[in-house]
Structure 1
Amino acid sequence: MSVALKVAATKDHALKVPDGDDQIAMLHSALEDSIYISWEVNNTYQAYFTAWDDESVAYQMLTVQNMVEIDGQWFVIKQCEPDYSNGIGTTAVTLQHISGEISRMHIYGSDPVDWGQYSHTGNSNVSLDVPDSTDTVAQSVSPGDILNAFFGGDNGKNWNITYQVIGSFNNAMVENPYAAGSGKDAISRILEAWSSAVFWPDNLNLRIYSHDEFYKDYGHRYDYLRDTSEVQLQYDTTDMSNAARLVGATQEIQTTSDTGLPNGSLTASGGAQAVIADAKKYLGVPYVYGGGRPVGTANPYNGMDCSSFVSRVYYDFGINIPAYTVSMESYGHEISRDQVQTGDMGFYGSKGASYHVCMALDNSTMIYEPAPGQSCKTQSISSFAPSWWERNDDMAKVVASGSSSDNGTASTADSKEQYYFAPFYFVDETSRQRWGLFVGDDITSDTITDKEQMKAYAESQFKANPDFTLQLTVDPGKEIIEGDMVRLEIRPADYVTKVDLVGYQKYPYSHTQPSTVVLNSNAQNVLDYQSSQAKKLNAAFEKLSQESQDKINAALNKKPETIMITQKEANEIGQYVDKQRQDSGG
Structure 2
Amino acid sequence: MLSLPIRSPAGDVTAVHAYDVAVTDTLKSYPTLNFSFIANEDNEVAEKMIAPRTIITDPTTGQQYRIATSNPVPTNKYRVYAVTTIHIAHDLHDLYLDNTITGSQSLKACCDFLVSGSKFSYSIDGNISDHDFGSDTLGNAHGDDVLSSIAEAFGIEFWFDNTTIHLATKIGKDNSFVFIDKVNASKIQVSEDYTTIETAIKGTGKEIEQDNTGGDSGGGSGAVASFARQYAGTPYVWGGNTPSGWDCSGFVAYVYNHFGIPMRQPTTYEEYQGQVVGPPYQEGDMLFWGPRGDTWHVALALDSNTLEMAANPDRGTVIQAISAWPPDFGVRNAQMAAKVQGSSSDDSSTSDTIEQQPQYTCQGEYYSPMADDSKWGKIWADPFTSDTITDENVLKDAMKAQLHDYPDIEYTMDWVSFKNNLSDINNEIAVGNNGWLRDRFGIDVNVRVQSFTQYKDPTTTQTDTITFGNKIFGPDEWNSRNEAAKSAISNGGTSRQTHNITPPVTADDIPVIGG
TM-score band, normalised by the shorter chain?
Answer: 0.5 to 0.7
Matched ranges for 1:4-403 at <5 A: 4-11=3-10, 22-27=11-16, 29-31=17-19, 34-53=20-39, 54-70=42-58, 71-109=61-99, 139-152=103-116, 155=117, 159-174=118-133, 175-195=135-155, 197-211=156-170, 214-217=171-174, 219-254=176-211, 257=214, 313-315=279-281
Give the drift of 1:532: 4.4
Say which SS state the counterpart of residue 436 (structure 1) adopts. coil
Question: What are the superposed Cα offsets for residues 378-427 of structure 1, whole Å, 9 maximum, x if unpaired?
Answer: xxxxxxxxxxxxxxxx9xxxxxxxxxxxx999999988674136865543
Asked whether 1:448 is paired with 2:389, we answer yes
Question: What are the superposed Cα offsets for residues 152-207 of structure 1, whole Å, 9 maximum, x if unpaired?
Answer: 3xx2xxx3111111122222222534332221122111122133x11101110011
- Separation in structure 2 between the aligned mates of residue 463 and residue 312 of structure 1, nearest angstrom: 46
- Separation in structure 2 between the aligned mates of residue 322 and residue 534 of structure 1, nearest angstrom: 57
When residues 536 and 247 of structure 1 are mapped into structure 2, their CA distance, relative to the original with a 3 A threshold, is closer
Amino acid at match of 1:193: A
Asked whether 1:482 is paired with 2:431, we answer yes
Amino acid at match of 1:514: T
Amino acid at match of 2:119: N
- Separation in structure 2 between the aligned mates of residue 530 and residue 163 of structure 1, nearest angstrom: 43
- Separation in structure 2 between the aligned mates of residue 109 and residue 72 of structure 1, nearest angstrom: 34
The structure number with the bigger radius of gyration is: 1
Matched ranges for 1:539-578 at <5 A: 540-541=489-490
Give the drift of 1:244: 3.0
When residues 77 and 537 of structure 1 are mapped into structure 2, their CA distance, relative to the original with a 3 A threshold, is same
Contact 2:202 2:399 in 1 (8 A): no
- Separation in structure 1 between the aligned mates of residue 454 and residue 196 of structure 2, nearest angstrom: 29
Equivalence for 2:498: none
Task: Please say which of residues 94-103 and 63-72 is displaced more in the overlay.
Answer: 63-72
Say which SS state the counterpart of residue 59 (structure 1) adopts. helix
Contact 2:193 2:409 in 1 (8 A): yes
- Separation in structure 2 between the aligned mates of residue 46 and residue 92 of structure 1, nearest angstrom: 13
- Separation in structure 1 between the aligned mates of residue 347 and residue 382 of structure 2, nearest angstrom: 48
Contact 2:110 2:150 in 1 (8 A): yes
Give the drift of 1:225: 3.6
Q: In structure 2, list runs of 5 or more residues that go unmatched.
A: 220-247, 253-276, 291-303, 305-322, 325-331, 333-344, 421-427, 494-515
Give the drift of 1:312: 7.7
Equivalence for 1:495: 443
Contact 1:106 1:182 in 2 (8 A): yes
Contact 1:37 1:46 in 2 (8 A): yes
Say which SS state the counterpart of residue 200 (structure 1) adopts. strand
Asked whether 1:518 is paired with 2:467, we answer yes
- Separation in structure 1 between the aligned mates of residue 396 and residue 289 of structure 2, nearest angstrom: 32
When residues 51 and 36 of structure 1 are mapped into structure 2, their CA distance, relative to the original with a 3 A threshold, is same
Contact 1:488 1:496 in 2 (8 A): yes
- Larger helix proportion, structure 1 or 2? 1
Contact 1:229 1:475 in 2 (8 A): no
Count of residues in correspondence between the two structures: 371
Say which SS state the counterpart of residue 46 (structure 2) adopts. helix
- Separation in structure 2 between the aligned mates of residue 192 and residue 313 of structure 1, nearest angstrom: 37
When residues 87 and 255 of structure 1 are mapped into structure 2, their CA distance, relative to the original with a 3 A threshold, is closer
- Separation in structure 2 between the aligned mates of residue 253 and residue 188 of structure 1, nearest angstrom: 35
Larger relative CO (CA 8 A, sep 6+): 1 or 2? 2
Normalising by the residue count of structure 1, what TM-score does the alignment of the two structures yield?
A: 0.56
- Separation in structure 2 between the aligned mates of residue 431 and residue 236 of structure 1, nearest angstrom: 18
Question: What are the superposed Cα offsets for residues 276-299 of structure 1, whole Å, 9 maximum, x if unpaired?
Answer: xxxxxxxxxxxxxxxxxx9xx9xx
Q: 1:509 aligns with which of 433, 452, 457?
A: 457
Give the drift of 1:83: 1.4
Contact 1:469 1:520 in 2 (8 A): yes
- Separation in structure 1 between the aligned mates of residue 13 and residue 278 of structure 2, nearest angstrom: 64
Question: What are the superposed Cα offsets for residues 67-94 of structure 1, whole Å, 9 maximum, x if unpaired?
Answer: 1012421111010111111212211101
Normalising by the residue count of structure 2, what TM-score does the alignment of the two structures yield?
A: 0.63
When residues 455 and 61 of structure 1 are mapped into structure 2, their CA distance, relative to the original with a 3 A threshold, is same
Equivalence for 1:124: none
Equivalence for 2:403: 462
Contact 1:254 1:414 in 2 (8 A): no
- Separation in structure 2 between the aligned mates of residue 409 and residue 540 of structure 1, nearest angstrom: 73
